[in-house]
Amino acid sequence: MLIFDFLIFRTKKLTCFLLSRFTNILAGKHIENSILGKLQASSHKLQVIQLEPGKLNTRKLAACSLRLVASLPYLRPMNKEVVLSGIRPTGFLHLGNYFGAMRNYVRMQDEFNCYFFVANWHSLTTHPDTKELKNSVHRVIAENIACGLDPEKVALYIQSDVPEIAELYLYLNMMAYKGELEKTVTFKEKVRLQPDNVNAGLLTYPVLQAADILIHRAVKVPVGKDQEQHLEMARNYAERFNHRYGDVLPLPYAFNYGGELVKILSLDGVGKMSKSENQMNTLYLADEDESIRKKIMKAKTDQGPAEPNAVKPDYIENLFTLMKLVSTADTVQKFEDDFNNSSAGNCVIRYGDMKKQLAEDMIRFIQPIRAKAADIQQNQDLLKKIIRQGADKARASASETLTLVRTAVGMDY
């Protein structure tokens, strides 16, 4: 017997409860209540559409029920909002990844229902050589845990371990059109960088990204400016699906702890730190102590300010930003005062001393992360357990969504 109980909507004047019980829905033997409801959430209002009994076949009845569950997540008040984010296993995680994203993920795991994944399918669009892919995937997982993610609190999984994503990707591709995909900024940039490898996966990258998000019905997605267009496309595909098949997929929106986002430039002051490019100007979480020292000592500086309390150039400001993240307040204040008291012919600040201090403080910060990540990577049994646990959590959520999607589309034979 399959029975659904629904609590319905609040108006300004009263709270109305509608109880719809469906008995033996799949067998189609008996409908206990003559009122069937299709509810749509819009600006916290629910519109109830009454249907006459006997005019709905069993498949549509089941679809109606499933869409109700999908469109009313607040009927399960204990559930936290779903957050999703992924990272490609190309290159090494760096300081910008940590302070720009991973530190916030650690906070999110206590406030939301979090799904974090390693996007190994996405990496194939630009890195078809998979010889080092397995090691890269394991390193990314280990570094995320070393930075504070708890596999018991979050679903930390590998994209290819969740085949439901691929099926949803197929359905969403029916909602995507060649013209809009060719106009995406990232596609144009990748075509410019790899003109001999313009593959279909590269073109439909935003569709797979939408499937990554929508398979868990995530509503909050931590993204940077460069991914906002893809997130908007994910919303478009969800809206198109809902318009065609009924309300199943919630719309995802960008989310970050806005006031706490940190922008870290490369050590030469040109652009951001990179996982795979400009390596001598990027501080990686796997860098050895001596490498950290060499990189910071070579960081771009100048002759000092021309007048007291001068505006810092970007590359100097970046050094102070790094120092604020890893040094004591007294240390930062000392070099701030030195800078503000400097002028042409009276340069108080000594950038060499500042960089030496920053290097030692940075080593103290990165060293425990590097060591813990290395320990996890060497413990293959633990790593496999974490990966398997993450896949189980992710597939439980994904299979629930895919059941709703298949029923809505009419693929539940």
3-state secondary structure of 373: helix
Which residues are marked as active site?
190, 272, 275
Instruction: Dig out the tokens for 354 from the structure.
Output: 């500042």
In sequence order, the 6+-apart residues with CB closer than 8 A to the CB of 57 are 28
Length of the chain: 413
**Gap between the Cα atoms of 199 and 35, Å rounded:** 51
Q: From residue 172, give the alpha-carbon distance in Å to each of 42, 185, 311.
A: 23, 20, 49
Closest CA to 149 of 85, 237, 67, 221: 85
Geometric angle at alpha carbon 145, from 140 and 149, rounded to 5°: 120
Q: DSSP class of residue 51? A: E
Cβ–Cβ under 8 Å, residues 66 and 402:
no
**Gap between the Cα atoms of 246 and 13, Å rounded:** 29
Closest CA to 398 of 67, 40, 84: 84
Q: DSSP class of residue 10? A: B
Residue type, 344: A
**Gap between the Cα atoms of 169 and 159, Å rounded:** 12
Angle between helices 380-409 and 164-173 (to 10 degrees): 40
Q: Give CA torsion, residues 275, 278, 281, 286, to 10 deg.
A: 30
Q: Residue 400: phi, psi to the nearest 5?
A: -65, -45
Cβ–Cβ under 8 Å, residues 113 and 80:
yes
In sequence order, the 6+-apart residues with CB closer than 8 A to the CB of 351 are 301, 304, 319
Geometric angle at alpha carbon 210, from 205 and 216, rounded to 5°: 140
Closest CA to 154 of 118, 115, 117, 106: 115
In sequence order, the 6+-apart residues with CB closer than 8 A to the CB of 52 are 34
